[in-house]
Amino acid sequence: MMSKFMMSCEESRHICDKAQYQEASTWEKIKFKCHLFICKVCKQHTITNSKLTLLIDKIKTSTLTSSEKEQLKSSFNKELQNHQ
C-alpha cells in the first residue's frame, strides 16, 4: 500500500514541472505531496520552480511577446501606408 505513495525524486520533479502548467493529475499531485513531506531537497526545488512560474506570469500578463508585437506592427503598418 505504502509503495503506491512512494516516488523517486526524478519522478517528483517531473510532476512538479507538469503542475506548473496545470497538467498534473490529482493522483500525481497526492503522490507528489507525500514525497515533499519526506524530501527537503525536492521541497526546495518546488519552491524555486513555483517562484519561476510566478515571475514568468508577471511579465506574461503585462507585456506583448515579440511575435505578438510583430503581428500588431504588420497590420498597423498596412493601415499606415493606406493612410499616407
Partner 1 sequence: MPNHKINPNQWIDLYSDYLFNYTITRVNDRAKAQDLISETFLAGLNSMKNFKGEASERTWLVSILKRKIIDHYRKTNSNKGKAEVRMSYNSDSETEGDWLEQRVADPFDKTAEDQIENTELADAINECLSKLPKKQAKIFEMKTILNYETETICNELEITASNLWVIIHRARVAMASCLEKNWF
Do 42 and 12 contact (CB within 8 A), yes or no?
A: yes
User: Phi and psi for 41 in degrees, rounded to 5?
Assistant: -65, -45
Show the site string, 1-20: x = touches partner 1 by CB under 8 A, - = not.
Answer: ------------xx--xx-x
CB of 49 to partner 1, least distance (A): 6
Phi-psi region of 22 (alpha: psi -120 to 50; beta: other; left: phi over 0): left
Residues interacting with partner 1, by CB under 8 A?
13-14, 17-18, 20-21, 23, 48-49, 51-52, 55-56, 58-65, 67-69, 72-73, 75-76, 79-80, 83
